[in-house]
Chain A
Amino acid sequence: MFSRDSWQEIFETIRKNKLRTILSGFTVALGIFIFVILSGFGNGLQNTFKEFFVDDATNVLRIFPGRTSKPYKGFKAKRRIELENSDIEAIKINFPLFLEYITPRISRGASVKYNNKSDNYTTRAVAPSHQAAERTIITKGRFINEVDIKDKTKYAVIGRKVATDLFGGEDPMGKYLDVGKIAFKVIGVFQDAGGDNEESFIYIPYTTRQLIEKANDKVDQIIIAYKPSIGHSGAISLEKKLRLFLKKKKIIDPTDQSGIFIRNVADELKRNEDFAGVLETIVIFVAIGTLIAGIIGISNIMVFVVKERTKELGIRKALGASPKSVIAMILQESVFITLISGYFGLASGMVLLKNIGNALEEDYFIKNPYVDLSTAMISTFILIIFGAIAGYIPAKRAARIKPIIALRDE
């Protein structure tokens, strides 16, 4: 049944019935191709959503000030709330059991110059524990330390991108950068899993920033890491208590939704994971739909093919083809076509995904789309099996038709 001769017979049939071959091959190839692309895009979307958080610690709360929305105790609504150093101290004193570390952050854009190269970067004025919150990886020198905070040193820790952009091959350590017309000495270079974006920052001591800005004590936001042992529910209750505590301290209506905002990174991570999960489900759904459409397509084509060949099959039977050999011939042909075209669909889908790479990341949030080979192979395999089943039923019927009836069919 699978002799070299019967294959030769099939190759000839395939070669000489190009339209039929192309038609069924194209359906299968397209089905697999779309399946691969869709699954790849689905995975790419998920990668993007997961990536948002991989570079940060997840046991972190971020506190931002805003404007109040309700009048309270003689204050009008829309009062602008600001955080300051004393808030950090107060939190340290009042929540010692929950706290792992705490750091302020003051972000400012600045034109940064070295020799004759310059560009705009964002400086982040922070405390030493910021390193842990952002998971900043020091590759050279050191991060901001407590002495820097105390002495308000003009030291800067620069990202890898800043270093390559401004210094090229030169070692930035110990060199002086012009940051918004003030000279900062580079004491460290860092990397971050967040990539170029994160590596374009410049860290300086927050006290230095406050000194530059007319010796105030304001901070943009406070980042708190809680002890992981308090768990998710502990984090939620900490968030609640912190909000109340700060509202009281800043004299804000406890029922005011604005004024103080707290973002829980773990919560956001979970929300995003849920969202990614929903996306995945949708993508799987659509991909399976494509596969089913492909199966229906190949089934239709097989029915059509067998119908078209009824007379030929009648001739073959009159010349001595057994029913089994008729079925085998049709099946072998359909499996061969689905196999080859399935492989083409698979390969071209994979190649396209590879070429797309991260090109769609900016606009469509599709990062590094891929399908694992086994998923793709299994789906190709399913299509082949169903193609074979789809071919088997009409082939069997055709094999049963009496040759005279098939021959009369004009």
Chain B
Amino acid sequence: MINLKSLHKSYKTGATSLHVLKGINLDIEKGELVAIMGSSGSGKSTLLNILGMLDVADEGSYYLDDVLIENLNEKKAAKYRNLFLGFVFQSFNLINYKNALENVALPLYYQGMSRKERQKQAMEYLDSVSLKPWATHLPSELSGGQKQRVAIARAMASKPKVLLADEPTGALDSTTSYEIMGLIQKINNEGKTILVVTHEDDIAKMCKRIVKLKDGVIVEDKKIKQIIVK
């Protein structure tokens, strides 16, 4: 599903240049649930952003579902993001003046779906994260866990090939974190490929594979026995 070959990325700030990713090689199959770990500043978010086409690599190749992702203009990138990728962020990134249902329906709006159809589908996804009764609530009226579930429903609504989650449990307490991981496992079991960036070992152990980054290179990559959230 995902194939990276000697991916490099530097950030230039003024005169200095920070080499963040120093040749990443990574293969991820369809249906995997991968935890990306590493200390702060090791380049986890950078890697995820490149995978999510929110940023571009300087060097190397990136295939998504056998399509070479390169020379993306903004318009094409927007289209690919919309069709292939779903995002979940640590800080939820819901649109604060839209209610839960409207937030979930937004990617469908950008797919050009009719209003009625996207309301219907969005409601189904909200239901799948058990938030149907909260459909008309604004993000400010939801708890952190509920917000993240809305964000997951929104990421899933566009039926992406890959779900990218950057510290999805970073802002949540452990009980709520496990709930969210349970949801992610459920989605993964339905066949979705998922990458989760995390700091926490217990969260990583709920995945099927752990990739460890250090100083811009992969230092460890192992399949593990997944701990299933009840």
Contact = CB atoms under 8 A, between A and B. Distances in A.
Decide if A and B are genuine partners. Answer: yes
Contacts of B109: 5, 9
A319 B81 contact: yes
B10 to A, nearest CB: 15
B93 A325 contact: no
Interface string B26-60: 00000000000000000000000100101100000
Interface in A95-130: none
Given A319-B81, A324-B75, A402-B55, A13 B97 contact: yes
B203 interface: no
A318 B81 contact: yes
Contacts of B89: 407
A320 B81 contact: yes
B168 interface: no
A8 B106 CA distance: 13
Interface string A300-312: 0000000000011
B115 A322 contact: no
B227 interface: no
B110 A325 contact: yes
Given A5-B115, A324-B75, A319 B154 contact: yes
Contact of A321 (B93, B94, B110): B110
Chain B, interface size: which category? 20 to 34
B83 A17 contact: no
A12 B54 contact: no
B167 interface: no
A321 B89 CA distance: 18
Contacts of A404: 49, 54-55
Contacts of A312: 95-96
A322 B78 CA distance: 5
A315 B78 contact: no
A311 B79 CA distance: 19
A16 interface: yes
Contacts of A314: 93
Given A16-B98, A322-B75, A403-B54, A316 B93 contact: no
Given A8-B115, A318-B87, A407 B93 contact: yes
B159 to A, nearest CB: 12
Interface string A67-105: 000000000000000000000000000000000000000
Given A5-B115, A403-B54, A407-B89, A319 B97 contact: no
Interface in B52-110: 52, 54-55, 74-75, 78-79, 81-83, 87, 89, 91, 93-98, 102, 106-107, 109-110
A315 B95 contact: yes
A323 interface: yes
Nearest to A315: B93
Contacts of A319: 81-82, 87, 106-107, 110, 154, 158
A318 B93 contact: yes
A410 interface: yes
A410 B96 CA distance: 13
A15 to B, nearest CB: 9
The listed residue with most B CB atoms (<10 A of its CB), out of A8, A320, A323, A404, is A320
A152 interface: no
A320 B54 contact: no
A279 B152 CA distance: 66
A367 interface: no
A320 B83 contact: yes
Contact of B97 (A8, A16, A325, A410): A16
B143 interface: no
A145 to B, nearest CB: 83
Contacts of B78: 317, 320-323
B111 interface: yes
A16 B52 CA distance: 30
Contacts of A16: 97-98
A228 to B, nearest CB: 72
A400 interface: yes
A324 B107 CA distance: 16
Contacts of B115: 5, 8
B55 A316 contact: no
Contact of A400 (B74, B81, B87, B158): B74
A399 B97 CA distance: 20
Nearest to B155: A319
Contact of A323 (B75, B87, B102, B111): B75
A404 B114 CA distance: 28
Nearest to B96: A312
Contacts of A407: 54, 89, 93
A9 to B, nearest CB: 7
A316 B98 CA distance: 12
Contacts of B154: 319
A322 B54 contact: no
A320 B93 contact: no
A323 B77 CA distance: 10
A400 B78 CA distance: 12
7 contacts: A16-B97, A312-B96, A316-B106, A319-B158, A320-B107, A320-B110, A404-B49
Interface of B: 49, 52, 54-55, 74-75, 78-79, 81-83, 87, 89, 91, 93-98, 102, 106-107, 109-111, 114-115, 154, 158
Interface of A: 5, 8-9, 12-13, 16-17, 311-312, 314-325, 399-400, 402-404, 407, 410
Given A311-B93, A320-B79, A322-B79, 6 more contacts: A16-B98, A312-B95, A312-B96, A316-B106, A319-B106, A320-B111
Q: Which 8 A-B pairs have the closest CB atoms?
A: A320-B82, A320-B110, A16-B97, A322-B78, A319-B107, A404-B54, A323-B74, A322-B75
